[in-house]
Amino acid sequence: MKKALCIGYVWPEPKTTAAGQRMLQLLEAFIHEGYQVTFVTTASKTPYSDDLSSLGVQTATISLNHESFDVFIQDLQPHAVVFDRFMVEEQFGWRVAENAPRALRILNTEDLHSLRKTRQLAHQKGEGFILETWMQQEMTKREMASIYRSDLTLLVSSYEMKILQTKLIIPPDLLYHLPFLLDTIDEGSPATWPSFKNRKDFICFGNGRHAPNIDAIAYLKKDIWPLIRQQLPEAKLCIFGAYLPQQVQEWHQPKAGFYVQGWVNDLDHELQGTRVNLAPLRFGAGIKGKLTQALQNGTPTITTSIGAEGMFTGEDLPVVVRNDAKSVAQAAIALYQDENEWYRMQSEGVNAINMEYDKKALLTPFFAKVNTLYQILREHRTANFIGSMLQHQTMASTKYMAKWIEEKNR
């Protein structure tokens, strides 16, 4: 049986983060393809961590800068190793290359961290974002080096796929566009959802440890929600999410219709009772689970260009895109009151999920790519000279720093 090892940044939390959902999708995909899957991480579990053993995934906790991982992977000898984000590849990539050289090394980006961080910095400074600034950042260079060292990098966003190829001229053979892997929505499902008239209020949700989410909630509280509330005085906005900081919890203000609810176990239920989802993201990267989850529950969304970036290829967007507070508020008020437009947006959302995120349609070519790469791995690595050079440099620096730390900790 083929073996796949996933080295996680954290234990997956599919009920709190889109990244957790994504990781679960990848684990399930490898299992369905017939792999024996092992998940390891240096992180500690939280109350929200998923029970991976129920999926048949073997799990273990590993140590950073410790030779025990070398023994572990020598014994396992996986066919494929998935690094969850570039920081994990920096920490463990050289150990995998040294102790399981025949393993296909796959980098799962979640989003381009460097892009998100550069956009956040530009937003905080009140400056416009330009790609040239992103290209100059240290984190960008680290992330790109990790991509080159890997045999294949998974990108969820078509926009990020495009800029890596056109701006940084990264060879297409090193990149693979694999968005969220979702079940399609059956033709009869929308009829079972609560109707326009049986839904009310607005919703905003996201993990409180993710800076773009906190900024979006602040944007709603200060600039957008007061405008909506003026026109819809009976409407409420409910904020959901794990790990919401004290600052956000203190914004709970029922008299203003602003409800900070925190984490909820069944977010789908909340979405199906809500008329409009608000996702006014001003910075970020990757694609947004808050949009796909709303679409899966028939809840139309108002978002921004950043929110919708890299998610949809069709001409008729399944979300409303507006980029300033007044426009977001006006669009939200209009959609909240327009039943025909609301149903049109809901229908576009179903089409988008079925056309862009159908896991069966996405996984067949993906595993064909994985299987082909595994067969020609030596030639693939020879052609990736920059990756080989960076791997050599990593061996000469990161490896010996780690060895020094090992000795120091004995």
Q: pLDDT tens for residues 156-211? A: 999 999 999 999 999 999 999 999 999 999 999 999 999 999 999 999 999 999 99
Same domain? For 226 and 174 the reply is no
Residue 399, pLDDT score: 67
Same domain? For 164 and 21 the reply is yes
Same domain? For 139 and 176 the reply is yes
Same domain? For 96 and 152 the reply is yes
With tokens 């061996």, the residue in question is 395
- When the pLDDT of each residue in the chain is averaged and rounded to a whole number, the result is 95
**How far apart, in whole angstroms, are the C-alpha atoms of residue 167 and residue 148?**
15
Q: What is the CATH number of the domain that holds 226?
A: 3.40.50.2000
Same domain? For 140 and 194 the reply is no
Same domain? For 235 and 377 the reply is no
Same domain? For 218 and 138 the reply is no
Structural tokens at position 235? 């409407």
How far is residue 33 from each of residues 77, 132, 218, 368, measured CA to CA in Å? 18, 40, 43, 11
Per-residue pLDDT tens digits for 89-111: 999 999 999 999 999 999 999 99
Residue 408, pLDDT score: 62
- pLDDT band at residue 391 using 50, 70 and 90 as cut-offs: confident
- pLDDT band at residue 394 using 50, 70 and 90 as cut-offs: confident
Same domain? For 197 and 245 the reply is yes
- pLDDT band at residue 400 using 50, 70 and 90 as cut-offs: low
Task: Decide which of 335, 356, 377 is a domain's last residue.
Answer: 356
Is pLDDT at 403 greater than 70 in this prediction?
no
Residue of 55, 69, 68 whose CA lies nearest to 12: 55
Averaged pLDDT, 333-354: 97
With tokens 């992977």, the residue in question is 73
**Amino acid identity, position 406:** E
Residue 410, pLDDT score: 60
Is pLDDT at 401 greater than 90 in this prediction?
no
The proportion of the chain whose per-residue pLDDT surpasses 70, expressed as a percent, equals 96
Enumerate the H helices of 14-85 as residue ranges. Answer: 18-32, 68-76
Residue of 210, 366, 175 whose CA lies nearest to 288: 210
Q: Are 13 and 93 in contact (CB under 8 A)?
A: no
- pLDDT band at residue 406 using 50, 70 and 90 as cut-offs: low
**How far apart, in whole angstroms, are the C-alpha atoms of residue 137 and residue 153?**
20
Same domain? For 204 and 265 the reply is yes
Residue 119, pLDDT score: 97
Is pLDDT at 312 greater than 70 in this prediction?
yes
Strands 237-240 and 202-205: parallel
- pLDDT band at residue 297 using 50, 70 and 90 as cut-offs: very high
Give the number of domains in the chain. 2
Same domain? For 152 and 206 the reply is no
Task: Decide which of 356, 376, 391 is a domain's last residue.
Answer: 356
Integer-rounded Cα Rg, in Å, for the chain is 22
* Neighbouring C-beta atoms of residue 183, cutoff 10 Å: 12
Task: Decide which of 312, 328, 356 is a domain's last residue.
Answer: 356
**How far apart, in whole angstroms, are the C-alpha atoms of residue 406 and residue 400?**
10
**How far apart, in whole angstroms, are the C-alpha atoms of residue 43 and residue 46?**
9
Structural tokens at position 202? 């607005």
Q: Are 317 and 348 in contact (CB under 8 A)?
A: yes
Averaged pLDDT, 50-68: 91
Is pLDDT at 330 greater than 90 in this prediction?
yes
**Rounded (10°) angle between helices 113-125 and 211-219:** 40
Same domain? For 167 and 202 the reply is no
DSSP SS3 for 192 = helix
Sign of the Cα torsion 23, 244, 90, 8 reads: negative
- pLDDT band at residue 20 using 50, 70 and 90 as cut-offs: very high
Same domain? For 306 and 262 the reply is yes
Q: What predicted TM-score, i.e. pTM, was given to this entire model?
A: 0.93
Is pLDDT at 395 greater than 80 in this prediction?
no
Per-residue burial over 337-355, b = 16 or more CB atoms within 10 Å of its CB, e = otherwise:
eeeeebeebbebbbebbbe
- DSSP code for 128: -
Query: Burial, 147: exposed, middle or buried (Cβ in 10 Å; 0-12, 13-18, 19+)?
Result: buried
- pLDDT band at residue 402 using 50, 70 and 90 as cut-offs: low
Q: Which residue range forms the structural domain that includes residue 251?
A: 189-356
Residue 65, pLDDT score: 83
Is pLDDT at 397 greater than 80 in this prediction?
no
